Amino acid sequence: MAEKTYPCDKWCDIANAVLCTAWKEVPGDEWRQRIPAVKSAMKEVAAAYKLSTKTGGPKFDTPARRMAYCALHLPSRARWVFDVLRDHEGLFKPLFAEGRTTDVWSIGGGPGSDLLGFFRRHAWWGLGSLKCYNFDREAGWAKCMATLQARVKASGVDASIELVAPSKEATNGIGDPRVILLSYVLSDVFYRDKEVGFRELAESILSKPKPGALVVFLDIARDETRAWSEERLARCGYAKVGGFDFNEKRLTDYQWGRSLGRFDKLLDLGWPHRDRVTFGLWRRMPTQQRKVRTEIGASV
Ligand SMILES: C[S@@+](CC[C@H](N)C(=O)[O-])C[C@H]1O[C@@H](n2cnc3c(N)ncnc32)[C@H](O)[C@@H]1O
């Protein structure tokens, strides 16, 4: 008898396929080299996050660290984006239409966790096709992106993904984003002095969309990064239309276990993932309203 597939299974399997791609990139024999390398990279990644307010978040410049990030965070961060779309469907759905291609941009999208969560909910609506850009400085994510694109297409979502090296000029001539995802990237770069380039990139991207476009901001709950995002988004003409903070948001054992597959045991992950989450949903206002807001702001 054919196995019964629940809708959630398909998306957990896609997450697992991205993990398998990241895993294959780690060189060497599975037991002697890969497992120790990734376990040690998991410690490095966790240690870098602990120090991130001094030194910025981890670098993802080795296959082992990229795999470590996927194992530690991909399934849960995909889920947080899915939850945002599900809970704010009325704001998102009008941005898409059958027969139309809509641009979705992810800043620092890494292995595509945020895009995966996005695709999962978009598939539910089935509204048109998607052209996605992941502006990430780490070219090493390319194979994960290719797997994500292939698996998502095979599951019936008409989406393409391009990994773009971030620069101020990177967005020249590439369309009109209707949704911008900023997921767990600001806290990585915020405390690095040299990341002025990232701030410029974020501002140049945020000033692109037409009114009505939505920005999803998800991150570790920290006052400084939240304040920075709120100030910049307001300055770029966005109004806050949703948001919440969670001290601890958890993935269910099932979602966690199925996404990780055999990596759960191989890497001794052993517990469902939890995250501190701050979330804000922002909508670009019409120019007229932006002016009024600026004038009110200026007079205060
Ligand atoms: C913590 S990961 C977040 C990945 C994904 N958005 C998620 O929610 O899981 C942060 C990503 O930001 C990227 N990144 C760091 N500094 C950057 C910069 N200056 N410009 C673009 N991407 C950057 C890293 O390479 C990494 O892939």
DSSP 8-state secondary structure symbol assigned to residue 118: H
Task: Give the integer Cα–Cα distance in Å for 146 and 130.
Answer: 15
Radius of gyration of the chain (CA): 19
Q: In the beta sheet, which residues pair with residue 69?
A: none
Query: Does residue 69 form part of some domain?
Result: yes
In degrees, rounded to 5, the angle at the alpha carbon of residue 183 between the alpha carbons of residues 39 and 119 is 95
For the chain, how many structural domains are there in total? Answer: 1
Tell which atom from ligand 1 comes closest to the C-alpha of 181: 6
Does residue 2 belong to any structural domain of this protein? no
Helices (H) and strands (E) in the chain, counts: 13, 7
Q: Which atom of ligand 1 is nearest to the CA of 135?
A: 21
Determine, yes or no, domain membership for 188.
Answer: yes
Q: H helices of 56-180, where?
A: 63-87, 89-92, 113-125, 142-154
Using CA positions, which residue lies closest to atom 16 of ligand 1?
189
User: Residue of the nearest CA to atom 13 in ligand 1?
Assistant: 108
Q: 110 C-alpha vs ligand 1 centroid, how far in Å? A: 5
Q: Is residue 156 part of a domain?
A: yes
Atom of ligand 1 nearest to the CA of 187: 1
Judge whether 51 lies within some domain: yes
**Rounded to whole angstroms, how far apart are CA atoms 221 and 230?**
13
Q: What pLDDT digit, counting tens, does each position of 19-36 carry?
A: 999 999 999 999 999 999
- The 8-class DSSP code of residue 133 comes to E
Distance 188 CA to ligand 1 centre (A): 7
- Residue whose entry in the numeric block shows the structure tokens 């941009």: 105
Q: What is the DSSP letter of 164?
A: E
pLDDT at 175: 80
Phi, psi of 88 (to 5 degrees): -130, 40
Residue identifier of the C-alpha nearest atom 17 of ligand 1: 137
- Contact call for residues 51 and 45 (beta carbons, < 8 A): no
Q: How many residues does the chain have?
A: 300
The verdict on residue 108 lying in a domain is yes
For residue 244, what is the enclosing H or E element? strand 238-250
The answer to the question of residue 1 being in a domain is no
Give the range of the structural domain holding residue 266, as residue numbers without chain letter: 7-299
pLDDT per residue, tens digit, the chain (300 aa), is 455 555 778 999 999 999 999 999 999 999 999 999 999 999 999 999 888 888 888 999 999 999 999 999 999 999 999 999 999 999 999 999 999 999 999 999 999 999 999 999 999 898 999 999 999 999 999 999 999 999 999 988 999 999 999 887 888 888 889 999 999 999 888 887 666 778 888 888 998 899 999 999 999 888 888 888 999 999 999 999 999 888 888 888 888 889 999 999 999 997 778 888 999 999 999 986 765 554 444 322
Q: Which CATH number is 187's domain given?
A: 3.40.50.150
Ligand 1, residue 198: give the atom nearest the CA: 19
Note whether residue 295 is domain-resident. yes
* Torsion angles phi and psi, residue 79, rounded to 5: -65, -40
Which of 163, 188, 191, 196 to probe ligand 1 with, by most ligand atoms within 8 A of CB? 188
